[in-house]
Chains A and B, each alone.
Chain A
């Protein structure tokens, strides 16, 4: 299985400041045939299911605010929130969907307001 490791486990950021969450995969999730990274980001608020934010490592899902951005390639990825809003408090997960099943998720990063 591809192991996804997120850092940090928790993060406190002031409103309006930048938040950065990292995700590292145990093997590359870059498909060389189409040059796409099979990596997604989700946020999950208490009592709710995860919500897709980013796919292909850097493409925002429809309706996701542009303060959310994804970057990285191969094994190292980053989710950045450019200016933290109160409604961004959540647990964030990365997920790989590279062709080697099973799909796997990171352990989650809890984002709070400082």
Chain B
């Protein structure tokens, strides 16, 4: 089973850009959907968006104007950028693999998660 590991700053200032990377090991990112999901006390689990290995993306409409997900197949990584962050973006951020049983899927492998705090 693949393993996923998030990395990036744990503290981001308000109005700046949150940037995280997910490194996939034990398998290729090709042929799968790769997701970002966040969890906060206030909003529970919230799907942010996905990228398919071909580069196509879908985002949660509530975040679409601020989110960019990209992938680097040569490094077996995919990344999240969230612009103009506020305290409401403070959360544990997870990367997760789509189950692959359909274009729309569950999440069958997850990273351990990384806490990102938005504060000056």
Chain A residues within CB distance 8 Å of chain B: 36, 38, 40, 42, 48-52, 55-56, 61, 93, 95, 97-99, 101-105, 107-108
B63 (CB) vs chain A CBs: closest residue: A102
* Given A101-B58, A104-B47: A49 in contact with B111 (beta carbons within 8 A): yes
Q: How many chain B residues have a CB neighbour from A under 8 Å?
A: 23
Known: A52-B108, A105-B45. 20 other contacts (CB 8 A): A40-B99, A42-B107, A49-B96, A49-B112, A50-B94, A56-B101, A61-B108, A93-B45, A97-B104, A99-B103, A101-B58, A101-B60, A102-B47, A102-B60, A103-B104, A104-B47, A105-B47, A107-B44, A108-B44, A108-B45
Asked if B106 contacts A52 (CB within 8 A), the reply is yes
B101 (CB) vs chain A CBs: closest residue: A55
Interface residues of B in 4-24 (CB under 8 A from A): none
Residues in chain A near residue B105, CB distance under 8 A: 55, 97
Bound-state Cα–Cα, A40 to B43, Å: 19
Asked if A50 contacts B45 (CB within 8 A), the reply is yes
Residues in chain A near residue B120, CB distance under 8 A: none
Residues in chain A near residue B108, CB distance under 8 A: 52, 55, 61
| B31 on the A face (CB < 8 A) | no
The 22 sampled A-B contact pairs (Cβ below 8 Å) are A40-B106, A42-B107, A49-B94, A49-B96, A49-B110, A49-B111, A49-B112, A49-B113, A50-B94, A55-B101, A55-B105, A55-B108, A95-B107, A97-B105, A99-B104, A101-B104, A102-B47, A102-B60, A102-B61, A103-B47, A103-B104, A104-B47
